[in-house]
Amino acid sequence: MANIVLLFLFIAIELIYFKIADHYNIIDRPNDRSSHANITLRGGGVIFWFSALIYFIQHIQSNYFFFTGITLVSLVSFWDDIQSLSNKIRISIHFFAITLVLYDLGVFHEISILIIIVIYIAAIGFLNIYNFMDGINGITGVYTLVIMGSLLYVNKNIQLFTDSSFIKYAMIASLVFLFFNYRKKAKCFAGDVGSIAIAFWVIYFILKLILTTNSVLWILLFAVYGTDGVCTILHRLYLRQNIFEAHRLHLYQILSNEYKIQHRLVALYYALAQIIVSGVVIFLYQKIQEGLIFTIVIIPLFFIYMSKFYLLKKRALKLNS
């Protein structure tokens, strides 16, 4: 019953935000790098921050650092949705927010400086990759549901690392967002405020699970996004492009823009791929060596990603013929 109440509360919050966004013209205008063609309300992903807020109010004696961190990244991201900010400001806020999380999890007292530096790079990189991947209808919502669902299963059946309702709040927010976004013509887009906020939430859970189990295997719970994001960044660096500027080189963009596969179907492909990966990770956890599990997961994903070069070449040949 409580989850149903939350569902309708989040819907009401989203509808109120739509009125505000419409009044203040908070919209996304398509350009030649966009994967959509219609002017759409931006920032619908603010529901993820409101979800965190409501959980914090109900559990006010805990989660101070997490809530402060997600508030900071959400504010700077929402500002960036309305008026572009410099990368230096955004990255600085991301750095400080991640610092709060690491302090909350006791990382500075338990792990070497070198590993802490790696965590900073990985966490800030993942925040931005999650944002980069938010380019077509439905992909952020369905992928987030898969990650959170996997974390909920692990929390209940393998290793308790957090309050299950904390995960469920993010899942309910994702369902509400999908109701307005998983459409042929979306009512709203997540905006930076949505993709960055939910990415911050995912990072918090993954780090907490890794520290609790002393296993880095759980980073594979976002292996599909990670593989696409990291490989695309390397590709763009090879092309000497600014990795923070809009582009159309992700595999999902090739499928959606060049091959005209319906956005919702491409989003579903990514979600299904992550479901398979998460299932493999959960099934093989503590049964075989972690290095072998990484190999089993990453190599197929890498080759799937590399198929984009074949698709691009095939597309170019067709246009030139």
- Tokens linked to 242: 């600014």
Per DSSP, helices labelled H in the chain are 2-23, 46-58, 64-82, 87-104, 107-110, 113-132, 139-157, 164-181, 191-213, 223-238, 251-253, 263-284, 290-320
Whether 293 contacts 280, CB under 8 Å: yes
Whether 76 contacts 93, CB under 8 Å: yes
Domain locations in the chain?
2-18+41-320
Quick check: helix, strand or coil at residue 289?
coil
Q: How many CB atoms lie under 10 A from the CB of residue 113?
A: 8
Average of pLDDT values for 146-156? Answer: 98
Q: Please give the Cα distance from 230 to 209 (Å, whole number).
A: 22
Residue 114 has pLDDT above 60, yes or no: yes
Strand partners, 28: 40
Rg of the chain (C-alpha set): 19
Looking at residue 37, what is its pLDDT? 56
Q: Please give the Cα distance from 270 to 228 (Å, whole number).
A: 10
pLDDT digit string, tens, across residues 36-90: 556 789 899 999 999 999 999 998 777 889 999 999 999 999 999 888 888 899 9
Average of pLDDT values for 125-143? Answer: 94
Strand partners, 27: 41
